[in-house]
Amino acid sequence: MAKKHRPVQRWGEYRRYNDHTWARFEFLEAIQHVAPEVLVALREEVLPAFLPIRPKTIVEIRRAIRGSFEEFCNPIRPHIIRWAERFNMQGFKRKRPPPGTGAPFVVWLEDPVVYTLMKWAHNKNADRSKWYFPGRFSFGAHMDDWFLKPFRYKTKGWSSLLENEAAFKNRVESEFKTKLATYLQERHLSESERLSVKIDTRLSKDYFEWLVKFQVQRISMYRIAKTTAGHKSSRHVSDGIKRAAKAVIGDYFENWLMPPLARGGPGKRRPSSRDDRMPESAE
């Protein structure tokens, strides 16, 4: 039986062309689900370095959450980088993306890492096998919300001497639907003019889990395909990995992806054309 499609979670309909936050959260949640060793290593290798410098008062904690985590990142950044390198989150070629195309993944990762460490350090009941994310998940998205004009609908009230209840309800519903349709059309046009990108609803959570297995755990695409419900082909898996990586990293994802593996995994012979060769198209 074919496995049911599991669509990605979307906070919004669109994203800024250089904002990969939604896909990066999907990637971190996939890590939590299929590669718990990553969070174990964060707890064992980075948390001890964070504890001596953690904010200790309620005022300091609130200031850190509302402001920047930079002052807490600086002393533990070497620990974060070593941890990220261990699980290939720095990427393969480690080239910085061109300006204006979004923050490098490991730089973006610092905020979720520090927020998770703060939760672990200050809440004894916090689950140390999961991520904790700031409420303001995307600065760009929240900036948009601050300046967005409200959607309002106003109409003449119900005069029970001139209009029966059914006619009033029909009039209000008809006017509201027309007003809403016009507003939505205007908003879509506005996002198009601002070069926003519509989030791809065809992306499956499976793609991000395959990406974690390939990039973080270094499992070959052949093995991923053979152990996937429904027995996907290696080509299907490689295409899904490539599409997820593009969503997480951007157009320069090929510099970040680790090289293909032979069927048996790391240290084996170079794969044949039927093994981990990437297809050209990411669509």
Q: Is 22 helix (H, G, I), strand (E, B) or coil?
A: helix
Report the largest interatomic distance among the alpha carbons of the chain, rounded to a whole angstrom. Answer: 86
Q: What gap in Å lies between CA 141 and CA 44, rounded to an integer?
A: 33
Chain position carrying tokens 């964060």: 42
The stretch 118-127 carries a mean pLDDT of 89
Alpha helices in 148-211 (DSSP H): 165-193, 205-211
Q: Is 108 exposed, middle or buried (0-12, 13-18, 19+ CB in 10 A)?
A: middle
- Residue 197's beta-bridge partner residues? 15
Helix axes 105-122, 21-34, angle to 10 degrees: 60
Predicted local confidence at residue 150, as pLDDT: 87
Predicted local confidence at residue 209, as pLDDT: 96
The stretch 83-94 carries a mean pLDDT of 88
Across all residues in the chain, what is the average pLDDT? 81
pTM above 0.85, yes or no: no
Among the ranges given (1-10, 38-47, 231-240, 258-267), the one the predictor scored with the smallest mean pLDDT:
1-10
Q: What gap in Å lies between CA 255 and CA 135, rounded to an integer?
A: 31
The stretch 43-63 carries a mean pLDDT of 84
Q: What gap in Å lies between CA 186 and CA 165, rounded to an integer?
A: 32
Between these two residues, 263 and 46, which has the higher pLDDT value? 46
pLDDT in tens, 192-217: 666 677 667 678 899 999 999 999 99
Confidence category of residue 28, pLDDT binned at 50, 70, 90: very high
Predicted local confidence at residue 13, as pLDDT: 66
The stretch 67-71 carries a mean pLDDT of 67
Between these two residues, 246 and 104, which has the higher pLDDT value? 246
Predicted local confidence at residue 282, as pLDDT: 44
Domain ranges in the chain?
A: 14-142+198-255
Among the ranges given (170-174, 231-235, 263-267), the one the predictor scored with the smallest mean pLDDT:
263-267
Confidence category of residue 168, pLDDT binned at 50, 70, 90: very high
Return all residues near 271 (Cβ < 8 A) that are at least 6 apart: 220, 222, 260, 261, 262, 263, 277
Predicted local confidence at residue 89, as pLDDT: 92
Q: Using an 8 Å Cβ cutoff, are 245 and 257 in contact? A: yes
Q: Can you say how many angstroms the Cα of residue 66 is from the centroid of all Cα atoms in its chain? A: 21
